[in-house]
Amino acid sequence: MNHPCRAIIVDDEDWIREGLCEEIGWERLGINLAASFSEGTHAITYVLEHRVEIILTDIRMTQMTGLEMLAMLREHAADDPSLNATKVIFLSGYGDFKYAQEALRLGAFDYLLKPSEVEDIERVLAKAKQQWEQDVQLQEMVQKTSASADTESKRSWRGDRVKEEPSSYLVKKAQSIIRERYAEDLQLTKLAGEVFVSPNYLSRLIRQETGFSFVEYLSGVRLQHAIVLLMSSHLKIYEIGEKVGYPNPRYFSDWFQKQTGFSPVEYRDRHQPK
């Protein structure tokens, strides 16, 4: 990776900002705490001028609420899509569900209530950093391997046909579940039940907002992880298949060749750094 994972803190209470700066094991987590701010407008200005991977913020603040700050960040992402990769974690004393609901609708990474134990905050920060690292690694691998796809059908998993960044809370939630549990026997019916809608409705919503069916999206996520493992590990082919949700080695190899035009062994031989 070209740069460290950087974070900022946004909270209008001095003692909370200072406590978060001092009590969180930022260095141990491998996160560079780049700055802290007492209000959202200065934080947004900083984020637009510098690369920031994680924002740990309060919701109720004097100049701009955390929700307003996140909404503004999403507006700027229309011109700079890389801003969508910034993980926003809310740390708030307001337990009203409507705040958490709005935060998730806007694409917040997580929502914690004050007072939270340091260990709980660090666990969420570590999870956000891990997701960022995974996103970067997948993006790099996709860029490196894009030239190996000969046809649109071979390249479709890369997201070339995605219409736009999904805005629906349901689709964002479904995508999050798929990215976290792609290795499981994840079925549309089960996924729909977890977001409390019918399978037909969720299927239609996913295709409408991403350009992919549920099966295509899940397959794409699995393929990305399979490629990362082929390129960066010495795992056996059947072990990689198991890790991405295909415990049958023959099926995994046939599926991988259909997606990329190469068997897993051929792909590794062609693309793994020597």
pLDDT in tens, 128-161: 998 888 777 766 665 555 444 444 334 444 444 4
What is the value of pTM for the model shown? 0.57
Judge whether 25 lies within some domain. yes
In angstroms, rounded to a whole number, what is the distance separating the alpha carbons of residues 70 and 110? 13
Specify which residues 54 forms β-bridges with: 7, 87
Judge whether 111 lies within some domain. yes
Domain boundary among 133, 163, 187: 133
Q: Any idea what the Cα angle at residue 177 is, between residues 212 and 195, rounded to 5°? A: 90
In the chain, alpha helices (H): 14-23, 26-29, 40-49, 66-76, 97-105, 118-145, 152-155, 169-181, 188-194, 199-210, 214-232, 237-243, 249-260, 264-271
Domain containing residue 257: CATH number? 1.10.10.60
In angstroms, rounded to a whole number, what is the distance separating the alpha carbons of residues 166 and 180? 17
Co-location of 210 and 260 in the same domain: yes
Domain boundary among 102, 133, 164: 133
In angstroms, rounded to a whole number, what is the distance separating the alpha carbons of residues 27 and 48? 24
Q: What domain range is 56 assigned to?
A: 5-133
Judge whether 142 lies within some domain. no
Judge whether 143 lies within some domain. no
> What is the chain's length?
274
pLDDT at residue 273, rounded to an integer: 52
Co-location of 174 and 91 in the same domain: no
Co-location of 124 and 180 in the same domain: no
Preceding omega of 115 cis (within 30 degrees of 0): yes
What would the pLDDT profile of 92-122 be if each residue is shown by its tens digit?
A: 876 666 777 777 777 788 888 877 889 999 9
Domain count, the chain: 2
Both structure tokens of 137: 């690694």
